Amino acid sequence: MRQLDVARRNIEIASEKIRSDEFREAKKALERLGPQILDAEAVQELFNRHFKTELDQIYATKKEIYEQLDDAYGELAAIKIVIDSQYRRKDAAFSDLNIAKNEVDRWYRRSNSHMPFYGSAGRKINRNSWFSQDFNDLDRAKSERDDAYSRVVKAKDAIGRTKRSRDVIYSNVEGLKNQVGALRERTRAVKAARRRYYELKKEGVDRRTAKVALDRLLARRTEINASIVRIKEERELYVRSEMLDQDISSKTLAVQKMEEQHKRFVDSFDSSAEAEKRRNAHRKQWLSERGIVT
């Protein structure tokens, strides 16, 4: 089997020499045709395009995006006003918180002070008193402190929510800007194609001549491909023919070898020595069958 594979490979290598120059030139011609066909297809496509329609669609899309941007910028301006107001509320709450904390601290300083007519150290502090320190003052200060702290937390939460909404709009704005950038690139590409279209028209190229040029190149490519196919078929035919000849030759050699072996056997069978051996063997068998010992 391995010998057969080696033989086939050698035959295939030999087949590659068949019309090798023509095959090589056909391959090179195909390589040269590739870019030419692409250019011809691009030219034909130019004459199938409607540049005004393309630009109108781009401008319409861009107009819609600009309107969305205007809306987004309006929302951002409104959000800025809201955030500024929320910061003012937070600052006011912080101010109230600091005042209330100072009131609580002042109450404790007074309760521990021995200052005449001011401090309450060493004296009983009542729940309610018109003229001296009492616990109602402390409770009121703590309540105001807790209320201010709650308003600070709520203001911070509100600012956070508003900023998250603002960030979503910022993200949308960036996306819209990217779309505008892509549309500008598309506009430049369409206008460049339109300029090329007008240049070709000045050179005398139109839809019909562009199609004719492309069809000619495609026909040439088909012709070259057909030539390559024919050469490949011719090479394959050569390989099959050679393999068949190899098979016949090997079978012929096998038959000749068998005939030679048969002839040697017949010749040896007919020799006098072989005849004498057969007679002796036959005589021994005959005597043995009759119980005669020699």
Which amino acid would we find at residue 265? F
- The model's pLDDT over 100-124, given as tens digits with 9 standing for 90+, comes to 888 888 877 766 655 555 455 556 5
For residue 122, being part of any structural domain is answered with yes
Tokens of 241: 């023919």
The CA-atom distances, in angstroms, between 141 and each of 96, 98, 150 are 11, 11, 14
Average pLDDT value for residue range 6-28 = 81
Whether residue 259 is contained in a domain is answered as: no
| Of 25, 36, 26, the residue nearest 218 (C-alpha) | 36
The number of folded domains in the chain is: 1
Q: Average pLDDT over the chain, rounded to whole?
A: 83
Name the band, by pLDDT with cuts 50, 70 and 90, for residue 22: confident
Give the 3-state secondary structure of 163-231. HHHHHHHHHHHHHHHHHHHHHHHHHHHHHHHHHHHHHHHHCCCCHHHHHHHHHHHHHHHHHHHHHHHHH
Structure tokens at 151: 């308003």
Residue 286 lies in a domain: no
Share of the chain above pLDDT 90, in %: 54
Q: How far is Cα 20 from Cα 98, in angstroms, rounded to an integer?
A: 98
| pTM exceeds 0.75 | no
Q: For residue 271, is it within any domain?
A: no
Q: Is residue 186 part of a domain?
A: yes
Lowest mean per-residue pLDDT among 88-97, 115-124, 169-178: 115-124
- 86, part of any domain: yes
- What is the rounded distance in angstroms from the CA atom of residue 25 to the CA atom of residue 48? 34
Give tens-digit pLDDT for 220-248. 999 999 999 998 888 888 888 877 766 65
Band of the pLDDT at 12, cuts 50, 70, 90?
confident
Q: What is the band of 10 on the pLDDT scale with cuts at 50, 70, 90?
A: confident
The residue range of the domain holding 224 is: 2-253
Decide if 266 is inside a domain: no
| Structural contact between residues 177 and 169, judged by C-beta atoms closer than 8 angstroms | no
CATH assignment of the domain containing 165: 1.10.287.620
pLDDT of 24-44, one tens digit each? 999 999 999 999 999 999 999
Is 40 within the bounds of a domain?
yes
Mean pLDDT in residue range 85-108 = 89
Question: What pLDDT, on a 0 to 100 scale, did the predictor assign at position 234?
Answer: 86
